[in-house]
A and B are shown apart, each in its own frame.
Chain A
Amino acid sequence: MTALPEWLRPGARPSGGVSPRPAAHRLLRRTLGAMGRSLALLVREDDGPNAGALRAADPRAKLLAAVGLIVVATFLRGMLPLAVCLGLTLALSVAARVPGRRLLPVLIAVPLASAALMLPATLNVVSGGSPLLVLWRTAGGALGPWRLPEIVAITGDGLLVAGRMVLRTTACAALALLLAATTRPQQLLGGLRSLGVPQAFVMVLAMAERYLAVLLRSAQELHLARLARSVAAIGVRREEAWAAAGVGAVFRRTRALADEVTLAMVSRGFTGEVRLLRPARWQRKDWLLMAVAAAVGAALLILDRRLA
């Protein structure tokens, strides 16, 4: 029988010492939350039969359509075409059953953040234009290096500029989400492969995606272990040192894995040239999807030019 140390028994603790202050675990929990969400996205499996039609569509077609529409959105200038673009995307997202917990953040956070950033742009001092609502009259003059404007006011031009930015960023974000939420990462990689992207690049991207899950799990374990053991707040400097040690540990795992993966690839005959499975042929519904996307894009652009 191995002799256990005398103090290794339930309830034994040294006398004296200071009772620790409860730790601020908010940051740890937040990081863990973000890691968990990323992991969940990476290892997401098929969502069952009632997952909406877009999910079954060919990933290449979806990828081309979504990227094409995002590019179109960056060319649009009118509020109306942009609003139509956003509206269509949202309608499609609902039809494709993009889960609310993914859609809502985009619908709320992106416009809010964008609007907050664009608040100053509504003012005459940034966007110019004739004042609609005067906020502040100053005496003008100069303050140090600044030359003060006579008035600070919200202008029609400013509202238009800000509104356009909010609509456009939201539409682009919603399109990117629609693509990502209806296509598993693995399928998207397959889609890239068949679009003439070099196979080596697709392979690296795929492996990055694959090992991201592994490294994220390591990082998650580090954070969980930290959460489980820490009783007291340890101060910013030690907190930073801990994070850096965590980064270092993840790097060690990175290098070990890279070496081992190389061996595993060589063992199965890899000599440096990448060969991947040939993707499935284009089908009629894939062409259809592309055609619809192209038509919508063209219509939006024409509408935009007409209104301009």
Chain B
Amino acid sequence: MQNLTINDAIGQAIAEEMRRDPSVMMFGEGVATKRHELLNEFGARRIRNTPLAEGIIAGAAVGASTMGMRPVIDLLFAPFMTLAMDELVNSAGKLRYMSGGQFRFPLVAMAMTGTGWTVGAQHNHNLEAWFVHSPGLKVVMPSTAADFKGLMKSAIRDDNPVLFFIEMAMAYETGEVPEGEHLVPLGKAAVRRAGNDLTLISYGKSMRACETAASQLAEKGVFAEVIDLRSLKPLDEDAILASARKTGRVVVVHEANRMCGVGAEIAAILAEKAFDSLKAPVLRITSPDVPAPSSYPLELAFAPQADAIVAAAESLLAPTAMTSRPVLTANAG
């Protein structure tokens, strides 16, 4: 094991994949400046700065990928992905199907998002569900340094376009990362903590709030199972259903807003496939339906916090949970 920042864990994953596969390359605005260790090792043909133009960055990745390259592109901050939407959604997501399976698009598009840097809504927008809703794309949003490495390596090897989201607040935090070959499969959730009383399902930075909440609940004798989705598409339905059938109570937590978010999909899956096991309504703790504010106190109010999760969990465990609607907290949106 080594201790790496999440940013370095990603860099290590890319370096290892570039060593084993000459078709892997990386480009984006400032990539060669900021990842100079990659530039030094692999040279200016495979690690490139680009002009400031997300559409052509993504378009070039889509075109190169179908011809046998495996590009990793850094689109910097998630809102800038909107300038690459046509290339990612209309081309990468559709042209395989529309061509009757003639083409494949093994590319990774990464971007940062999330509260913590008070950068405001044009740098921070948890728009991961947009891509989940788009056919032909895969979406990952890890929460541990080890998973960032393992999922990046799997994403690069995958033959489909993968959107790779990084919480900016976590990018320079360190964590344990296995050395060398460490692959985390796409589409597999991780049970971070086992418990029988209720299930907390989350991803990204909100996992921390869930783990804090789970610790606080444990002190009160309530044992929450905590599931880290890691991949949002494919979504690990089996893990979600297995835990819900065991505990009967589920809270989904994410920083993206509620309406049509990943939590909505999970609630629907549970209603369709685990209705008989549910002892209480599925709850969602999310940000409200507003653009992310800059002001620090508003950022805190915007993002799901542990106390709201504890309150939601306790409301589900109250004897009346099935009959009276639990009171949602302020940031339950």
Q: Do A and B come from one complex?
A: no
Name B's A-contacting residues (CB within 8 A).
none
